Structure 1
Amino acid sequence: MGYFNAKIIIVYKRLFTTLLLLPFHFLFAQKNTLTGFPKGYAPEEVGKLIAYRFIDKKHALHAGKWISYPETFYWSGGLKFATLTGDTALMTLLQNKFELLITSEKQLLPIKNHVDLNMFGSLPLELYQITGDKKYFELGMPYANTQWEVPGNAKPKEKEWAEKGYSWQTRLWIDDMYMITIVQTQAYKVTRDLKYLDRAAREMVLYLDELQRPNGLFYHAPDVPYYWGRGNGWMAAGVTELLRYLPKDHKDRPRIMKGYRKMMKSLKKYQRPNGMWNQLIDEPDYWAETSGSAMFAYAFITGVKHGWLNARQYAPAARKAWMAMVPYVNEQGAVAEVCVGTNKKNDKQYYYDRPRRTGDYHGQAPYLWCVNALLEKVTD
């Protein structure tokens, strides 16, 4: 065989091998990225089901009186989805529904005296960013400001927190780290006043120092030594939200990033083989819970996209979580296996026995966060 003939045979063999392996390389790449989902799993499909479900549903009220935080976040998640997908019909429906809160349903606007109520301000501030209508700005900003304005009837402990530079609404429940963070970061986004980020960052460092355990997870509160799924989810989502906007040279960013990565490492360790996380994260015999799992997936997706987490390690974990989560969404856009609202309690069995619901807003909103994170284009 001549030299040139042998060379041609070698080239053809290499080409054949490349073509043969190409589908496997493609399949491997698809399974380890946050794109290319199969039919039924595409974020646009899932997001549309969940977002439109909200339009004609009744309010989920706090204490039977005011718009609750789960509804607030479901609403704002839908608004962001409509923006990302250019769905003007959905945007109009969501905005029209909100207009009732300014007119005929004005009594449902939350008062400004609790961490679970002040977070409502994040919703009109989201609408202000979308529409530029000043009325939304004027409605939302007092919720952010009063979180640091001590009322005359404040309790001694609340005054003590304020004297130290923290919000008087500080409780040291991990839920707070989304409730406080979301309204303060929204206030920063519409004003560009760094005091709002400084507030959120200072509060976050306090909670990291007080509640994060050596394994990276968080007790529900100092006196409740259990790693509750959605509680940890609020922290995971809150620290993720803050890192999205905290300047790279901010003095608290290294501490906050360290806490975030420590938590993500632990969550990756405790992720179930099927991609979900349990009601109590470190208890293998507990049931898989969807709202907390979605919050953790949101933190993974965002961390990978922003380069805070190693993509080779965390993108497959994020994808696995999403693929496990979607089957819990029914044809009406309702998420199943959502733990109901849960107060802290120093009783392990209490967490296991919590009722599970389908369509509970505690689960609907975090699923939309994941959808939006998957759709979002990150430029930094």
Structure 2
Amino acid sequence: MKSKLNRYLMIAFATVQVAYGFDQAAAQKKESADLKNFPEGEGPAAIGQKIAAHFVVTPHTNFGRSTPPRYITYPETCTWYGALTFAKETKDTHLLQQLAERFEPLFGSSDTLIPKPDHVDYSVFGAVPLELYMQTKEQKYLNLGKQIADKQWGTPEGPRVNAEARRFYAKGLSWQTRLWIDDMFMITALQAQAYRATGDKSYIEHAATEMVFYLDSLQRPNGLFYHAPDVPFFWGRGNGWMAVGMSEVLRSLPKNNPNRTRIMQGYQAMMASLLQYQASDGMWRQLIDDAESWPETSCTGMFTFAFITGVKEGWLDKTIYGPAARKGWLALIKYINADNDITDVCEGTNKKNSRQYYLDRKKNTGDLHGQAPILWCATALLRK
């Protein structure tokens, strides 16, 4: 009798242990996909505040050179935009005021710093005044931002116009089209912002049309993108521009837009491939599919943003991509140093048909190419 009782007790104990194990595993799985709760000091509000505050006091940058820029550079534009969206999500009116004050001289003595919108890298600047308009409702910001967005799709003009630009324009595309993957943030971010600011669907339709053209022209069977048609390497940050660009377009593209299905297909194919190439520590590499290349922070931030956005919007399976997004964020912020500069950022990079060229690119610290994606990720994590 005693032996039988002991056997029952052992079975009961084992059952409890198994159940506890299942509960523990389920809890761990849930925690790994959690995009709301982070260890103290590692959440999006705390990290974003530090990076945004650092940006506010940073002079206009010039791609690492000691001399001031002739005009606002696109990495600064991207960081400015990120700081503004972060201010919006945190309802930080003081930060918004600081970011608006940074802009104010551009309406006066420093107006020459406004980039001439005759190239994708210059035109993206318009995203900043459009965001300022949406948050402040001051007409001067809308006037400037809309003017830049309209020129991106307007009649080709200026010394940069060539026969290729005219061909693209004749096809209903932006004359600034050049089929570099970087363009799919530079063009689509501006047009999406113009749509958000005005409600005019022609802007988001421009962005979607351009995106489909780039997807059809450049996406490879594995879902990733060469830096350019003549450069067969999957450069990290270049692919990052595509990942963020698709996320930003899809976030605002109306459900009934005829191009939405095609863009979603391209986005999901890319995300599935990126999931396979994420390293065990959460990082992605300078050349995505090259195990000998180094972990790079700007592309890691961009891919993490795309994962976070996809999970939050319901485009990606939370149980699969949630853990990857969380792991990416927690890996990324480990590269922020005591000065709130992120390290291991690939320097500004032209295209070149050489693997060694990409492997040898300098690792910068505090480069705004890397600061911006941290703010984008912080914003995405805070969005409802």
TM-score range, shorter chain: over 0.9
Q: Find the counterpart in structure 1 of residue 355 from structure 2.
A: 348
Contact kept in structure 2, 1:125 and 1:141, CA below 8 Å:
yes
Q: Does 2:278 align with 1:277?
A: no
Q: Find the counterpart in structure 1 of residue 3 from structure 2.
A: none
Match of 1:168 among 151, 157, 175: 175
- What is the CA distance between 1:92 and its match in structure 2? 1.5
Contact kept in structure 2, 1:338 and 1:358, CA below 8 Å:
yes
Aligned pairs for 1:147-166 (under 5 A) are 147-153=152-158, 154-166=161-173
Q: Find the counterpart in structure 1 of residue 374 from structure 2.
A: 367
- What is the CA distance between 1:26 and its match in structure 2? 3.3
Q: Find the counterpart in structure 1 of residue 84 from structure 2.
A: 79
Match of 2:364 among 357, 362, 366: 357
> What CA distance in whole angstroms lies between the structure 2 residues aligned with 1:286 and 1:96?
41
Q: Find the counterpart in structure 1 of residue 37 from structure 2.
A: 36
Instruction: List runs of 5+ in structure 1 lacking aligned partners.
Output: 1-9
SS state at 2:35 partner: coil
TM-score by length of 1: 0.93
Q: Does 2:144 align with 1:139?
A: yes
Identity %: 51
Q: Which amino acid aligns with 1:121?
A: G
Number of equivalenced pairs: 368
Q: Find the counterpart in structure 2 of residue 47 from structure 1.
A: 48
> What CA distance in whole angstroms lies between the structure 2 residues aligned with 1:251 and 1:58?
43
SS state at 2:268 partner: helix
Q: Deviations over 1:168-220 (max 9, x none)?
A: 00000000000000000011111111111111111101100111000110000
SS state at 1:318 partner: helix
Q: Find the counterpart in structure 1 of residue 123 from structure 2.
A: 118
Q: Find the counterpart in structure 2 of residue 5 from structure 1.
A: none
Q: Find the counterpart in structure 2 of residue 249 from structure 1.
A: 256
> What CA distance in whole angstroms lies between the structure 1 residues aligned with 2:24 and 2:190?
46
Contact kept in structure 2, 1:49 and 1:331, CA below 8 Å:
no
Q: Which amino acid aligns with 1:60?
A: T
Q: CA RMSD in A?
A: 2.0
Q: Which amino acid aligns with 1:363?
A: G
> What CA distance in whole angstroms lies between the structure 2 residues aligned with 1:152 and 1:96?
32
Q: Which amino acid aligns with 2:40?
A: K
> What CA distance in whole angstroms lies between the structure 1 residues aligned with 2:204 and 2:229?
25
Contact kept in structure 2, 1:69 and 1:119, CA below 8 Å:
yes
Instruction: List runs of 5+ in structure 2 lacking aligned partners.
Output: 1-10
Q: Find the counterpart in structure 2 of residue 67 from structure 1.
A: 72
Q: Find the counterpart in structure 2 of residue 204 from structure 1.
A: 211
TM-score by length of 2: 0.92
- What is the CA distance between 1:223 and its match in structure 2? 0.6
> What CA distance in whole angstroms lies between the structure 2 residues aligned with 1:157 and 1:22?
61
Q: Find the counterpart in structure 2 of residue 330 from structure 1.
A: 337
Contact kept in structure 1, 2:182 and 2:241, CA below 8 Å:
yes
